[in-house]
Amino acid sequence: MVLGWVCRVCGAEVDVATPFSWTCPSASPEDPHHVLRLVDDGVEAEVIDDANPFVRFARRSAWFAFALANGMSESAALSLAASVADGFSITPFTVNASLSDRFGVEVWAKDETGQLAGSHKARHLVSIMLHLRVAEELGLLGRRPPLAISSCGNAALAASTLASRESWPIQVFVPTWMDPAFGVAIDALGAEVHRCERHPGDPPGDPAMAGFRSSVAGGAVPFSVQGPVNAWCLDGGRTIGWEMAEVGSPVSELVVQVGGGALASCASQGLGSSVALLAVQTEGCAPLERAVRLLGDDDRPADRWAEVMIPWEEPHSLADGILDDETYDWLSLVEAMRVSGGRPVVVSEAAVVEAVTVARDAGLPVSPTGAAGVAALLEGAQSGPVAVIASGVDRSGA
Ligand SMILES: Cc1ncc(COP(=O)(O)O)c(C=O)c1O
Ligand SMILES: [Zn+2]
C-alpha cells in the first residue's frame, strides 16, 4: 500500500492523502530541482483479477491509496478506475522469434503500440486524472481547473484523449514544427492548442515549455509526463513493469529508450531490481550518460543536479520522442541503474535508423522512438535474455 511521497532531493515528506500534491512542497520556479518518489509499506498488494491494468493493480497504486485515505470506498474507487481508465489493456509481452533469431538471445518485446492513444504515455497521465476525479467525487476540487501539457507528440495525444473523455478542458503547448499527424488528431479531440513561436528577445529555452509554465502559474494542473513537474505520473507508469513482471519471463536485462526518463524509471520499478536497466539514448542527445559519467560513484547525486544534468545543446535524432534536452527523471534512473546493475547505453544514429526496419520486420509496428531499444541490441548491449519496449506506434502513414 502506498503511504506517501518523499523528495529525493530535500527529504520533504507528503502524505498520500494530500490532494494535488504534484510537486515537492519546497519546489518553486526558482528552485525546480526536486522530485517526489513513492513510499509504500513494503508489502506488495494482491492484484485484482481484471483485464484493465488500472483496476488490476489498483491496490498498489497511489491514486487508490489517495481515494481510500480520503474516505472513498474500495468499490467506488474501482468503478471510477473502470470508467476513467476504460480502453486501457494489458499489452502483449512475449518472446519475439525474429529478434531472438537475429540476436542469438531470447528477446522479449513489450508491444505497447496498441495501447490507448498508441503509446505508453496515457499510463502516466491517467493516474493524474484518477487523482483529479477522486478529488472531484469527494468534493475536494471545486471548479475544474484546465489541464496543461507541453508536448508535440505521443504525450499530447494521450493527454488530449483522456481530457476529451472526461470533457475536461485542456491546453496543449506545442512548438511550431509539430508533426501535422499529431496536430490534426489533437485538434480533433477538442484540445486548446497553443502553437508557441520563438520571438526575438525571448528568454532561452523551449517557448512551448514557457507557455506551459505560465499556464500552470495561472492555476492549470500540470498534466505532465515528467516526474519533477507532476510526480503522480510516476504512479500509473509502473503498470507497464508490473505487467511484464507477471508474465514470468527469463529476462535479465531491460532495454528502454530514455527521453525525460519517466518510462524507464517506472518500467524498471515495476519489473524489479533483479533485471538490469539499460537506459538508451542516441548519440544526438545523451544527457543521462553524460550525467552518469560526471557523477562517477558519488553517492549523493541529488546534491549535484545542476552540475551534472546539463541541457544537451542541439538534440537531434530520427527518434524524435527522446530528444528531451534534460533527462528530468535522471535521479530515479541513476538509482535504478545502480541497484539493478545496469548502465546507460548511447546508440549511433545509424543503429536508430536500422532498428526501425528490424523492429517492423519483426512484427512490431513502431515509430523510430519506439524502436530505439532495438538499436541498443544492434550495437550488442545485451548479454542474456533481454526485454525491449515497443513504446509507440508508427504514425508515418497517418
Ligand atoms: C514512443 C515513446 N517512447 C519512449 C519515450 C520516452 O519516454 P520518457 O520521456 O518517459 O523517457 C517517448 C516520449 O515521448 C515516446 O513517445
Ligand atoms: Zn524537495
Q: What contacts 121, CB < 8 A, 6 or more positions away? A: 154, 155, 157, 158, 159, 225, 392
> Grid coordinates representing 213?
509554465
Asked if residue 219 and residue 249 are part of one domain, the reply reads: no
Whether 255 is covered by a domain: the verdict is yes
Gap from CA of 127 to ligand 2 centroid (Å): 21
Instruction: Report percent pLDDT > 70 for the chain.
Output: 99
Q: Tell me if 266 CB under 6 Å of ligand 1.
A: no
pLDDT at 183: 86
The domain total for the chain is 2
Asked if residue 284 and residue 306 are part of one domain, the reply reads: yes
Chosen domain end from 178, 200, 233: 233
Q: What 3-state class would DSSP assign to 337?
A: helix
Degrees, nearest 5: CA angle 280-120-68: 120
Whether 395 is covered by a domain: the verdict is no
Gap from CA of 92 to ligand 1 centroid (Å): 18
Residue 397 has pLDDT above 80, yes or no: no
Residue 204 has pLDDT above 80, yes or no: no
Gap from CA of 27 to ligand 2 centroid (Å): 6
Residue 73 has pLDDT above 70, yes or no: yes
Mean per-residue pLDDT over the chain, rounded: 96
> Grid coordinates representing 208?
512551448
Asked if residue 102 and residue 128 are part of one domain, the reply reads: no
* Residue nearest ligand 1's atom 13 by CA: 321
User: How confident is the model over 264-323, as pLDDT tens digits?
Assistant: 999 999 999 999 999 999 999 999 999 999 999 999 999 999 999 999 999 999 999 999
Top mutation candidate among 157, 174, 369 for ligand 1, by most atoms within 8 Å of CB: 369
Degrees, nearest 5: CA angle 218-222-226: 140
Nearest ligand (C-alpha, residue 367):
1
How far apart are the C-alpha atoms of 272 and 290, rounded to whole Å? 25
Asked if residue 342 and residue 221 are part of one domain, the reply reads: no
Asked if residue 19 and residue 102 are part of one domain, the reply reads: no
- Tell me the pLDDT band of 30, cut-offs 50, 70 and 90: very high
Nearest to 333 by CA among 282, 392, 259: 259
User: How confident is the model over 361-381, as pLDDT tens digits?
Assistant: 999 999 999 999 999 999 999
Domain with 48 in it: 2-84+121-233
Asked if residue 36 and residue 182 are part of one domain, the reply reads: yes
Asked if residue 37 and residue 128 are part of one domain, the reply reads: yes
Asked if residue 250 and residue 126 are part of one domain, the reply reads: no
- Tell me the pLDDT band of 215, cut-offs 50, 70 and 90: very high
Whether 229 is covered by a domain: the verdict is yes
Whether 144 is covered by a domain: the verdict is yes
Whether 398 is covered by a domain: the verdict is no
Q: Tell me if 227 CB under 6 Å of ligand 1.
A: no
Instruction: Report percent pLDDT > 90 for the chain.
Output: 92
Amino acid at 383: S
Asked if residue 40 and residue 128 are part of one domain, the reply reads: yes
CATH of the domain at 342: 3.40.50.1100
Q: What is the pTM of this model?
A: 0.98
Q: Do 34 and 7 contact (CB within 8 A), yes or no?
A: yes
Asked if residue 321 and residue 367 are part of one domain, the reply reads: yes
CA distances from 374 to 257, 357, 392 (A): 9, 10, 13
Helical (H) or strand (E) element with 194? strand 192-196
DSSP annotation of 381 = -
Degrees, nearest 5: CA angle 230-235-238: 130
Place of cell 531470447: 106
Nearest to 301 by CA among 7, 6, 9: 9
pLDDT at 177: 78
C-alpha of 40 from chain center: 20
Residue 398 has pLDDT above 70, yes or no: no
Residue 207 has pLDDT above 90, yes or no: no
Gap from CA of 166 to ligand 1 centroid (Å): 24
Gap from CA of 372 to ligand 1 centroid (Å): 10
Whether 397 is covered by a domain: the verdict is no
Q: Tell me if 257 CB under 6 Å of ligand 1.
A: yes
Asked if residue 184 and residue 107 are part of one domain, the reply reads: no
Asked if residue 243 and residue 218 are part of one domain, the reply reads: no
